[in-house]
Structure 1
């Protein structure tokens, strides 16, 4: 959806294949092959998580592209083989393998790539800059936007923010009530924002109360002042996340 402030706001969830959604979110009788197109009618984006664990063939990327409407966008989680390594700047071959599997076939439906790091990964300025230097700005004529999801408190420092800004990478704003040590960084380091909201609760039909969703909507509108926003309800009470995404979309209209 367009924000009156400037950037577009995309709201969605992580993935679209989740058995407990069948009958609670997906209608009874909906074929599994139709779940993505159903999800795409009710949200504006999805974060593909399966890419963290494995690669997909070009046919899969083209299928996902063709099953979703114009304006729908996919964020893509980078492979763990790229981020779960002692020396990040030595991962060039892994980065190329991940980026060459076919994701650029999404074309203008390719949103940001989320490079997620484990909580044990500490900030090392030299190595992290070496990593950022290896991330291409485009591939196959398609723009690549990079988002950095860091989970160690050592990243909550100006040197990291400056590095991210130097290379135009967004820092993921991640909120998880069960992980108080994760840094919640809200810094404008790129021309887009990326949020992973992990606080949905099963006792709320829409994952969060209306007041809580109002606060998320207000924050999302603020981010939109500086560019596009990609916000995903992930983890938490996963069964409630599609409803949370739809409720947030309704509040942003």
Structure 2
């Protein structure tokens, strides 16, 4: 178990693969921790340095009072990478992690040489929607929203599996304050203009059954960046790395090869 002391925040992270390899950094979705990538990592190329971390208020990373700003979450990723002396990484972000990826690429091009925007958008939802969710969590905890979240996260067949229940448990066991804090960060973010100025290799990944960030939103976002690629994973919702890890790993590996990261 590794903890990076960033002064005002202690961040839980994990490194797999070759500690001297080219870095790949993963950022998770709202309501999940770094275990989100457990099924994908063993299927990726050997010889790379795979870095995962729990964002502020999630997993084993320190909990701070809500609300958070996207700038704060981007700065957390930036400081972690500086702490680990990581540059020129391939940054893989899912949902809010994809927003962090966009913000980090705009701010620190020395840290990000290519990025994967998975199940995300330059803007996700509307402030009023997020205000309602935050109010519901404040009143009844994450459990109050869990069933509706699961419908957006996973396809109907996956929701009938035993594995599904573990992911529901992961969601409801995240700190409510961290969930509300990150929800506020998403609510206040509109990256359409800054993302349209990016010029770096980018892959968009969407799930056909994603009820949180539909394929059209992901495609619209990556289309802001000239030369970007897009891949649709069928029979998957908001977390295709969970429902279709083999296809996700294949697509990610191909992108790594295309950009010369392998």
TM-score normalized by the length of structure 2: 0.33
Tell me which structure has the larger Cα radius of gyration: 1
Instruction: Please state which structure has a larger fraction of its residues in helix.
Output: 2
